[in-house]
Structure 1
């Protein structure tokens, strides 16, 4: 039964409100085709010169319904098969929108290096109720101003002050894993443990708040941003957003707001925003009190969180950093800081447990740094871990956290072999780029040696973009690397990992960031005795 038959059958039964909405959208689409203006026709002539999946109106309708029906687990395999069949550039239309996936690093460099084409795709607008127009979603002058303001908050001297918090929460993770593996119990939910560790880290460093999620605290907030275990239940904010991106009838604000997804979205959003707003107000009061105390004691040495720094910027530039501006940046970095790094750390631990020779090499490297001591890692220690860094880079090659990067063109863009007209949405999928055999032979194999210096010399610099690239690259990538190195090195120092499965047991899906739907279990053997300092 084809997609249209399914739609018509469901409409006839009257059983699905969303499909009635689809019919309205399809009628709107039909009127657009009949009455579109001459400018749009000229633009479509340029589009018609590109390799495409949607050559006819029926093809557009069929493709729109097909994309809307894709399960999160099959999105990446589907587009991988499309690129293999059509080539490194392919156009497709979803209702009224023209998308082009590019997978040639030369084309990707042209796009991401551009200082003109920095407008994010329309999918990012669906994040605005959550993240408003912060660094991730803003564009033009606001983005330039905000990026400049925030760059200093990720200076290495600031990042160095976060190292104690990274160590503290990494040791808490080790303790939790030790408890969970008592009596030779197998760890079946390593991703949950790592996610809570990452959440504790970003809450302390970003907000200056000890969330204590690894201790079972702050349950409402954790549940609001944590992914639901069932991939068909889009109850978390991030899952609902990705569902909306691929389900074209939910693009309409009116339809989304009355849908079950919309109601769940705003319910969870209220928890997130209330938590952030309360923390901001409490932090402001504490900072005012601390300033008054400092005036009397002259004691000025303290550790500043990202939120402290934003409040400081607000005092110096009140028109450029309001309370709403502070909230949108804190919400942005809370989301990006824990969700993106937790999947990378989880996958790294799984692969370290699969490859005992690699684990031995990492542990030998760490022993050369720490010896038999149980001291905390320092910034200098973290810089002296090339083997672990290669493992992390290979992990992010296979499992880049960001599943897609989009740009909406406001003017024509000349790629290597094609000219792309304005209003087109360009899509870069790092997961597919990082599996190009021309750059990565045997691409599914986990091989950290790909990132030995001699292996990287001739590789295209835009063939590896786990943190994006160009002017809109990830501002927090150094923080993320320090976080991952601290957590993974701490686990390996104190625990032996054995993965009870193979790489084939890993099943991922496309959510707002990459998600692990299924992972092999881990057998963990603590290497420390009862005198372990934490």
Structure 2
């Protein structure tokens, strides 16, 4: 058995070396840190919390386009808004990069990971589920679940600082289940959601694969402890989504023909389009993950940014005072949320500094020439949104939290593809309007009830585990509003 393992490893090393040598003549035009044989630049990222800072430093050192070699995988890191526009709007880059293959055990061929005709068909099916008339109805659920979050946080008010992110993740998962899935799961009543825990573990194991020249190969990954952990998590994740599908089917029975006209939850739309159970499950897995995790991350960092900027927090509260008119029982509506202009700028600025998806990739399916560069077929073009959003060429004094960057006049001054928290082009986030309404509702209710104070000495320890995560949580202190 040992001989077999050694033989496999030797073959992988030889194959990787051949790949690297074969590509070398094609990529020398790109600047970047010098790679080691076989492993490439992986040693640069042994400490996970150094990934993002080093990628930002490489952007400063090598420019807006540079290369990284992660084992057998060549990554072109892109922070150039003109190239980003081509990558996000040109049909030949519609397919996701090979790193998304690591999500397939979990998400199958759902909207995030699929491409071509299947992606186009499913996107067309799902898009009507996020029509503003449906979103208007969802606001009631956003509000009710946000008020539950307010109640859950009461035990921490006027107490020591704490990690607020688990409470927020449970809230966003509660919301996505009851709105998009049409199922009441009461997740906020369970302070230790198995689904949220499994999601976090899966994110870490996938990042481990990206940064391992051996784990990138399925044949070797299957012999690792990460694979066993992934299988355990997948059982939790898939069981949860299958239960959601079966419960919703039981609620609506077999009478799904009338659902489309009523524009119900996106899960109902899938039932009505003749998709296989596996296709439906893949989309539910995708939306359960993306619908709670990305929004949960964004909300956590919005609270953190407000805690660090009390003057801006006061302006948000003043806007809410005008809306609430001292009536805490006011029902938030779609139109009221649309009127929260300053809060929207705050949300956008927080997502500039902490984009929920710091990297997203596109497969290069044929040689592509851009300026003096040739991006070779088989490469992976990875858009570094985190670095782009902190580039002083487009955002002066980039570390400063300044919501006025998103005033209409300031937005007009910037190139269109320098701010992409929801991606852009045909594969932009289908749920971005849903997410914005949800975030406005949640922050509105939280800031009406609590003042956010910073935790002295705390700084998020950021890692790009598919979604941007903080290894040490998001710590704040809550004080009751009088």
TM range (shorter): over 0.9
Cα distance between partner residues in 1 of 2:192 and 2:469: 22
2:36 paired residue number:
59
1:418 paired residue number:
373
Which segment is superposed worse, 403-412 or 44-53?
44-53
Q: Is contact 1:400-1:466 (8 Å) kept?
A: yes
Q: Is contact 2:88-2:425 (8 Å) kept?
A: yes
Moved over 6 A (4+): 17-21, 289-292, 299-303
Number of aligned positions between the proteins: 479
Q: 1:45 aligns with which of 22, 25, 37?
A: 25
Q: How does 1:72-471 map to 2 (within 5 A)?
A: 72-181=48-157, 184-216=158-190, 219-225=193-199, 227=200, 236-288=201-253, 304-313=264-273, 318=274, 321-373=275-327, 374-471=329-426
1:11 paired residue number:
none
Cα distance between partner residues in 1 of 2:138 and 2:121: 25
- CA-CA distance at 1:64 after TM superposition: 4.5
Q: Is contact 1:394-1:447 (8 Å) kept?
A: yes
Matched position secondary structure for 2:221:
helix
Structure 1 stretches lacking a partner, 5+ long:
1-13, 228-235, 529-534
Q: 1:85 to 1:395 in 2, by over 3 A?
A: same
1:279-330 per-residue CA deviation (whole Å, 9 max, x = no partner) reads: 21222122126779x9xxxx999893322222123xxxx2xx2111111111
Q: Is contact 1:404-1:429 (8 Å) kept?
A: yes
Matched position secondary structure for 2:477:
strand
1:488 paired residue number:
443
TM-score (norm 1): 0.84
Q: Is contact 1:352-1:497 (8 Å) kept?
A: yes
Cα distance between partner residues in 2 of 1:162 and 1:136: 23
Say whether residues 1:515 and 2:480 are aligned partners. no
Q: 1:523 to 1:95 in 2, by over 3 A?
A: closer
Matched position secondary structure for 2:231:
helix
- CA-CA distance at 1:431 after TM superposition: 0.5
Q: Is contact 2:42-2:211 (8 Å) kept?
A: no
Q: Is contact 1:131-1:328 (8 Å) kept?
A: yes
Matched position secondary structure for 1:59:
coil
Say whether residues 1:505 and 2:459 are aligned partners. yes
- CA-CA distance at 1:96 after TM superposition: 3.2
Superposed CA RMSD in Å reads 2.6
Q: Is contact 1:97-1:424 (8 Å) kept?
A: yes
- Say which one has the larger Rg: 1
Cα distance between partner residues in 1 of 2:142 and 2:7: 50
Matched position secondary structure for 2:180:
helix
Q: 1:20 to 1:377 in 2, by over 3 A?
A: farther
Cα distance between partner residues in 2 of 1:477 and 1:350: 21
TM-score (norm 2): 0.92
- CA-CA distance at 1:247 after TM superposition: 1.2
Matched position secondary structure for 1:518:
coil
1:8-44 per-residue CA deviation (whole Å, 9 max, x = no partner) reads: xxxxxx9xx99997555323334557xx8xxxx5x65
Cα distance between partner residues in 1 of 2:260 and 2:227: 46
- CA-CA distance at 1:456 after TM superposition: 1.3
Q: 1:287 to 1:429 in 2, by over 3 A?
A: same
Q: Is contact 1:206-1:330 (8 Å) kept?
A: no
Cα distance between partner residues in 2 of 1:47 and 1:414: 12
Matched position secondary structure for 1:436:
coil
Cα distance between partner residues in 2 of 1:470 and 1:116: 13
Cα distance between partner residues in 2 of 1:105 and 1:300: 39
- CA-CA distance at 1:497 after TM superposition: 1.9
Q: Is contact 2:77-2:383 (8 Å) kept?
A: yes
Matched position secondary structure for 1:444:
coil
Cα distance between partner residues in 2 of 1:253 and 1:62: 17
1:215-262 per-residue CA deviation (whole Å, 9 max, x = no partner) reads: 11784334322x3xxxxxxxx112111111221211121221221100
Matched position secondary structure for 2:173:
helix
Q: 1:362 to 1:52 in 2, by over 3 A?
A: closer
1:10 paired residue number:
none
Cα distance between partner residues in 2 of 1:62 and 1:300: 51
Structure 2 stretches lacking a partner, 5+ long:
none
Q: Is contact 1:200-1:211 (8 Å) kept?
A: yes
Q: Is contact 1:353-1:499 (8 Å) kept?
A: yes
- CA-CA distance at 1:416 after TM superposition: 3.5
Cα distance between partner residues in 2 of 1:291 and 1:337: 24
1:62-114 per-residue CA deviation (whole Å, 9 max, x = no partner) reads: 524415x5222111111112221111111233333322111111111111111
- CA-CA distance at 1:60 after TM superposition: 3.9
